[in-house]
Structure 1
Amino acid sequence: MVRSDLIDRIAEENPGLTQSEVETIVEAFFGAIVGQLNSGGRVELRGFGIFSVRSYGARAGRNPRTGEPVAVEAKNRPFFKASRQMIERLNTVR
């Protein structure tokens, strides 16, 4: 599922909202998550999971073609951990 599929699905399930209103809501939702992670926080959605940021330090890597050493800069990466309820829902027999 991509963002446009999500917007279409929410719009179908909520006939009182227009496509552009749903798009605005989805954009605001994702923007709030990214903003919270950018400020060093985490986002916990009960029954779904936790979004957080993990920091990775600088290290020496290798160019896979030439084998030459390459400096890899420090970076932050988003991390998601599914909740216990989500894992249980995914593993129930249907």
Structure 2
Amino acid sequence: MIRSELIRLIASENPHLTAQQSERLVGCIFETIIDAMAHGNRVELRGFGVFSVRKREARLGRNPRNGVTVPVRNKTVPFFTAGKQIRDRLNGR
């Protein structure tokens, strides 16, 4: 599912919302999650999962084209842990 499909689904299931209002709603939710993670906070959506931030230390990597060793800087990456409800549904429980 892509963002536009999600917006369309929300608009169709909520007839009191226009497509434009649904788009703003989805954008607001995503921006709130991104802002919280940018500040190093965890975002927990019960039954869905947890969005968090992990730090990766600097290391030596390898260029796959020519095998040359290159330095990789430290970085912060997003991380998602699925909730129990999602895991159960995916596993047919």
TM-score where L is the length of structure 2: 0.95
One-letter amino acid of the counterpart of residue 56, structure 1: R
CA RMSD, Structure 1 to Structure 2 (Å): 1.0
TM-score where L is the length of structure 1: 0.94
Q: Determine the C-alpha separation between the residues in 2 that align with 1:89 and 1:11.
A: 25
Q: Determine the C-alpha separation between the residues in 2 that align with 1:89 and 1:40.
A: 30
The alignment of Structure 1 onto Structure 2 pairs a total of residues equal to: 93
1:43 equivalent in alignment to 2:67 = no
Q: Determine the C-alpha separation between the residues in 1 that align with 2:57 and 2:87.
A: 30
Q: Determine the C-alpha separation between the residues in 2 that align with 1:4 and 1:70.
A: 39
Query: Identical aligned pairs, as a percentage?
Result: 52
1:28 equivalent in alignment to 2:40 = no
Determine helix, strand or coil for the equivalent of 1:55: strand
Residue 89 (structure 1) shift: 2.0
Q: Determine the C-alpha separation between the residues in 1 that align with 2:23 and 2:30.
A: 11
Determine helix, strand or coil for the equivalent of 2:34: helix
Moved beyond 6 Å, runs of 4+: none
Determine helix, strand or coil for the equivalent of 2:16: coil
Instruction: Show structure 2 runs of 5+ residues with no match.
Output: none
Q: Determine the C-alpha separation between the residues in 1 that align with 2:72 and 2:59.
A: 5
Instruction: Show structure 1 runs of 5+ residues with no match.
Output: none
